[in-house]
Structure 1
Amino acid sequence: MAKIKTEEVVFDLAKPITDEYDFELVDVEYKKEGQNWYLRVYIDKDGGITLNDCEMVSNRLSDILDEKDPIDGSYFLEVSSPGLDRPLKKERDFIRYMDREVEISLYQAVNNSKNYKGINKGIKDDILTIELEDHGLLEIPMKSVASVRLYFEF
């Protein structure tokens, strides 16, 4: 099964579980690291995700994955919080985290840079707008965006 298809299938299987618990299903990743495949499911809720929350979703999803068997070969299932520096991928993420500081990595340079940090001002017509400190607004076509994460200074 192709990587993208696997992620979509697992998303569809996990969504009813996360909805039942009033959790947000943030993302599903299926990737090879070294010799092993990892299926990572990221969940969130107001107030944050606990270890028990992850365990509940993991147990339920594991049973469904065993029953449906949508993935060829072996893999490790991990259910976790997206973390403080969570990725923003969907339009609703950009709405939810409007006016929050983000880090952006680009596939190709815009104004001679592939990395930016600024305030998320949202997406309109597939253009991400960020407010740069002392440099005004920058508009970036979403097709140029490799990743956007909430910025968190440790």
Structure 2
Amino acid sequence: MAKIADKVLSILNPSVHALGYELLGVEYVPSGKHSVLRLYIDSEKGIGVDDCEVVSRQVSSIMDVEDPISGQYNLEVSSPGIERPLFSVSHYMRFLGHDVRIRTYRPIDGRRSFTGAIGSVSEKSNAIELVTELGPVTLEIDLIEKANLVAHF
């Protein structure tokens, strides 16, 4: 499903940027007629419901014309929230030292779920080092299915 999300990201990014927002990432969750296409947007002044509505209207028009997803889906436009999703090398660099929860596409050392602090980020190898309770783990960013900051209260 990463290919669909990547395709949608490349189609929508210029338009969302032109509206004054950053398109952080795209998630596509297939489930028949209950499939979901979720966009995460951000801006320097934060994101409110009105911002989501503006982007949703623009994106809906583009998706109707481009039609990169066959079948029905629900479009959701969201702020990144307190447990912000991470999608790119720049996101991991920005939150260096922060705690994250990561799920990988396939098991690494018998595990798919990891929690720890981002210890380092390598653009060259497209990988991060995660400092976990069990010690450091190196994860290729392309193998990460989902990554979110961990909120501490």
Q: TM-score, normalised by structure 1?
A: 0.78
Q: What's the counterpart of residue 128 of structure 1?
A: 128
Number of residue pairs aligned between Structure 1 and Structure 2: 149
Gap regions ≥5 residues in structure 2 = none
Larger radius of gyration: 1
Judged with a 3 Å threshold, the aligned counterparts in structure 2 of structure 1 residues 63 and 109 are, in CA distance, closer, same or farther, namely: closer
What residue identity is the alignment partner of 1:152?
A
Partners of 1:69 and 1:140 lie apart in 2 by 37
Q: Within 5 A, what are the aligned runs for 1:11-90? A: 11-33=9-31, 35-90=33-88
Indicate the percent of aligned positions where both proteins have the same amino acid.
31
Cα shift readout 1:85-107 (whole Å, capped 9, x = no counterpart): 12222101111111212123354
Gap regions ≥5 residues in structure 1 = none
**8 Å Cα contact 2:41/2:47 also seen in 1:** yes
Q: RMSD of aligned C-alpha atoms?
A: 2.6
What residue identity is the alignment partner of 1:120?
I
**8 Å Cα contact 2:32/2:72 also seen in 1:** no
Q: TM-score, normalised by structure 2?
A: 0.78
Judged with a 3 Å threshold, the aligned counterparts in structure 2 of structure 1 residues 54 and 139 are, in CA distance, closer, same or farther, namely: same
